Amino acid sequence: MNPGEKVSDRYIPQQRPSRQAPASFDHRDSGTSEQLWATSREVKGAAPLELSDVHRLVVTAAHPDDESLGAGGLLARAVGLGIQVIVLIASAGEASHPASPTHRPEDLARVRSREAQEAVGRLAPTSRLDVLDLPDGRLSTVVDVMAREILDRIGDQSHGTLLVAPWHGDNHPDHAAVSAAARRVALRSGCRLVEYPIWAWHWARPGDGTLVPEQLVAVDLTLRERQQKDGGLAIYRSQVAPLSDAAGDEAVVPPGFAEHFRRDREVFVSITSPSTPEGPSGRSPSPAGLGGADHPTAIPSLDRGFFDDFYRAGRDPWGFESRWYEKRKRDITLASLPRPHFASAFEPGCAIGVLTAALAERCDRVLATDIAAAPLAVARERLAGRHGVQFEQRRIPAEWPPGLFDLVVLSEVCYYCDADDLGCVIRSAAASLNRDGILLACHWRHPVVEYPISGDEVHRRIRAESGLAVLVEHVEEDFRLDVLTPSPALSVARRDGLVR
């Protein structure tokens, strides 16, 4: 349950966060006390987790100790009931102490893998344990690998299988990545899925809407199961105790935080119904293969209500105005445009108009649209009185505007579309370009469970289906940017006569 990448020792979550998650939290803070959670409706009111129809339990984890923290009691219960148990841990946890002066990442990987073998062996002696050694801190880049590994262990025996994963809303990128893989598998196979919160017990508070009581299920642990779980957690000495007295070797699971996992019931978020073979969104499993997307294509396009809810958190829930990540990405976006000036531009999904304002400096006319009214109000205020900028509330692709443009900017918008709508967006964008027009696409690459498709899949399809030639390609861990144009795609140097 590594705290994750650090900047000034503070955990920085996904730039596309869950709706209720905080912008940042510190694992060394006291956090929400277990006394508050123990008497909360979320913990006390959770319905029993039904196990009577379970013949096999597959518990997935991002790091060694996640499985024991979130589902250690369930593992002990399953073995006691004679259920087949498989534990699959994505990484060896080598990034748990990035500033350690005494342990290198490879040292931590060996230590934590040994701890996992011992802890899981204590909790579920008859279980099978696999540690995949995928990159700790970068699991979002290998969601497809994890999905295949999980599916391999489920095979054709999804009926009677309970799949357990970290909760997607935990506000940790690695936890979200494993959740994304598990949800893809649940939708494909029809197996039942529950997810365990870990960090949410630290940063959330009872009654704040983070954990919805009606979606929670629980396992009431016997005294023996609690003792087994406590013993399993104690084995993870690299996490519950300091590696040394040196700075950077502090415990990742301090005593106050560990109290959340010593309660007499384990709480899970129920993602699929135990009575129907449906996927995470309540639809029948897709017959399609896993493919390259981080999310199953059966998830429909996000509707206006999703964004209305999102913007209730504030005027700038994504941090367009405040985050260096967003400013840097805008600068790269603008620098990637192959011409200094455009007559007309269309920007769907303009949000609060921060990129719109920058585009207006390079374009005579900009049509900017968004599906939600709240961000448009902020955008109109931002560019009040600015000549040549027009804002409209439109849903794409159904309300794609008529006319031709010199520039179409698809920035962080296409992964909200399902497979069919994305195809319409790609066709509409290509058809809207003037003969020498430019299509710029830029999208976040890490998995976000609510989104129907991944950023990488968006760009794969734009390249394959737009009929346009790639002029600029920029790829880094966090986002991908492509600039396309009708053939021939002439570079800036060729246009300026520097290359013949």
pLDDT at residue 177 greater than cutoff 50: yes
pLDDT at residue 11 greater than cutoff 80: no
Residue with token string 């990540």? 325
At residue 3 the predicted structure's pLDDT band, cuts being 50, 70 and 90, is low
State mean pLDDT over 331-338.
Answer: 97
C-alpha 175/C-alpha 165 separation (Å) is: 8
Helix (H, G, I), strand (E, B) or coil at 403: coil
Torsion 163-169-175-181 (CA) sign:
positive
Could you read off the pLDDT of 22-67 as tens digits, one per residue? 445 556 677 899 999 999 999 999 999 999 999 999 999 999 999 9
pLDDT score of 6: 31
Burial readout 43-78 (b: 16 or more C-beta within 10 A, e: otherwise): beebeebebeebebbbbbbbbbbbbbbbbbbbbbbb
Asked if 338 and 472 count as a contact pair (C-beta separation under 8 A), the reply is: yes
pLDDT at residue 118 greater than cutoff 50: yes
**Side-chain half-sphere of 227: how many Cα atoms within 13 Å?**
3
C-alpha 474/C-alpha 476 separation (Å) is: 7
pLDDT at residue 382 greater than cutoff 70: yes
**Of residues 205 and 302, more confidently modeled:** 205
Relative orientation angle of helices 223-235 and 66-80, to the nearest 10 degrees:
140
At residue 5 the predicted structure's pLDDT band, cuts being 50, 70 and 90, is very low
At residue 19 the predicted structure's pLDDT band, cuts being 50, 70 and 90, is very low
C-alpha 406/C-alpha 363 separation (Å) is: 9
pLDDT score of 2: 64
pLDDT score of 156: 74
Could you read off the pLDDT of 63-82 as tens digits, one per residue? 999 999 999 999 999 999 99
Backbone torsion region of residue 499, taken as left when φ is above 0, otherwise alpha when ψ lies between -120 and 50, otherwise beta:
beta
At residue 277 the predicted structure's pLDDT band, cuts being 50, 70 and 90, is very low
pLDDT at residue 121 greater than cutoff 60: yes
C-alpha 416/C-alpha 457 separation (Å) is: 12
Picking from 103-112, 139-148, 240-249, 427-436, which range would have the lowest pLDDT averaged per residue?
A: 139-148
**Of residues 282 and 413, more confidently modeled:** 413
DSSP H or E segment with residue 483: strand 479-485
Q: Using omega within 30 degrees of 0 as the cis cutoff, is the peptide bond preceding 452 cis? A: no
At residue 447 the predicted structure's pLDDT band, cuts being 50, 70 and 90, is confident
pLDDT at residue 353 greater than cutoff 50: yes
Helix (H, G, I), strand (E, B) or coil at 391: strand
Strand stretches in 321-478, DSSP E? 342-348, 363-370, 389-393, 405-411, 433-444, 469-475
Q: Say which amino acid occupies 138.
A: R
Picking from 9-18, 51-60, 166-175, which range would have the lowest pLDDT averaged per residue?
A: 9-18
* Closest to 489 measured CA to CA, from 462, 461, 467, 474: 467
State mean pLDDT over 452-467.
Answer: 93
Q: How many CB atoms lie within 10 A of CB 434?
A: 15
pLDDT score of 356: 98
pLDDT score of 285: 33
At residue 88 the predicted structure's pLDDT band, cuts being 50, 70 and 90, is very high
At residue 276 the predicted structure's pLDDT band, cuts being 50, 70 and 90, is very low
Picking from 169-178, 211-220, 272-281, 423-432, which range would have the lowest pLDDT averaged per residue?
A: 272-281
Q: Which residues pair with 220 in a beta bridge?
A: 265
pLDDT score of 282: 33
At residue 290 the predicted structure's pLDDT band, cuts being 50, 70 and 90, is very low
Contacts with 256 (C-beta within 8 Å, 6 or more apart), sequence order:
30, 31, 33, 34
Structure tokens at 219: 């396992």
Picking from 92-96, 114-118, 144-148, 231-235, which range would have the lowest pLDDT averaged per residue?
A: 144-148
Q: Say which amino acid occupies 143.
A: V
